[in-house]
Amino acid sequence: MLYGKTVLITGASSGIGAACAERFAEAGARLLLLARRRQRLEALSHELHVRFGTESRLLICDVRSRAAIEQALCELPPEWLRIDILVNNAGLARGFAPLHEGNPEDWEEMIDTNLKGLLFVTRAVLPHMISCGEGMVINIASIAGREVYPNGNVYCATKHAVRALSEALRIELNGTNIRVVNIDPGLVETEFSLVRFRGDTERARKVYEGLQPLTPYDVADLVLFCATRPPHVVIADVLILPTAQANTWLIHRNPSPATPPSVPAPGD
């Protein structure tokens, strides 16, 4: 399906990024796996090679560092420089508080990762795509990029910015044969809440309690579907939710002794 194509996935060491890597590997693509955690990337790369014979290279760097991204890409062999599909997946949330009680260091981490990181990687990859006359950029944003929720202020702002950048790119790249896709997931059970609550497993567990959230593979299947449309088709903007979620704040939860049905939870 994607034999001979090169796919760069950011935030590939876990969650949606790792699931995307598996789906693209199964489809025959070769992979550039970018993340900070070397051991996880090495384990993923080995698994994909054993299962699918996938050829992959690891880019061990932080998307917040423009210099590190540029260096990692410059060190690639020439035959890896043509990137056909970029999946901007790296992102996180930190904290869950009203703006006037928020931690500015958390704000900076979210802005640097979710927004500036996406900009740095896209800026480094796009010139090669333009010179090749084709390509695809898939931005993993969030339902939080469509509507805000209490205490999600800065995270929501970064995801609104990602959605705006997707629209701007689609306009700027019109006529280049480069397609831009924006995907907005709702609740997906990953490390997202564990990161947001800084390792508080009980608090993170409650976010997904009483419902069946999306899995990383649900989103990865959608990413692959978008990536495999014929050249004249672009799935420009998609919202994917678990059936129990109507929007960022209206989530149906099955009653249980541990979780009353009225307990709220943020959308991803």
Q: What is the pLDDT along the chain (268 residues), one digit of tens a residue?
A: 899 999 999 999 999 999 999 999 999 999 999 999 999 999 999 999 999 999 999 999 999 999 999 999 999 999 999 999 999 999 999 999 999 999 999 999 999 999 999 999 999 999 999 999 999 999 999 999 999 999 999 999 999 999 999 999 999 999 999 999 999 999 999 999 999 999 999 999 999 999 999 999 999 999 999 999 999 999 999 999 999 999 999 999 998 655 444 444 555 6
Domain ranges of the chain: 6-240
The answer to whether 115 touches 158, Cβ cutoff 8 Å, is yes
Which of 137, 114, 22, 15 lies closest to 62 in space, CA to CA?
A: 114
Q: How far apart are CA 251 and CA 23, in angstroms?
A: 29
The answer to whether 153 touches 99, Cβ cutoff 8 Å, is yes
- H or E segment to which residue 248 belongs: none
User: Rounded to whole angstroms, what are the CA distances from 114 to 5, 77, 139, 172?
Assistant: 26, 28, 10, 21
Q: How far apart are CA 5 and CA 1, in angstroms?
A: 9
Q: HSE on the CB side for 216, CA within 13 Å?
A: 17
DSSP per residue over 201-227, as a string? HHHHHHHTTTS-PBPHHHHHHHHHHHH
Beta-carbon count within 10 A of 113 CB: 21
CA 146 to chain centre: 16
What single-letter amino acid sits at 195?
V
Tell me which residue has tokens 């959608």.
222
- H or E segment to which residue 96 belongs: none
Residues recognised as catalytic: 155
> What would the two tokens of residue 201 be?
């497993």
The domain defined by 6-240 folds into Rossmann fold (3.40.50)
Which of 105, 109, 89, 225 lies closest to 162 in space, CA to CA?
A: 89
Q: How far apart are CA 139 and CA 11, in angstroms?
A: 12
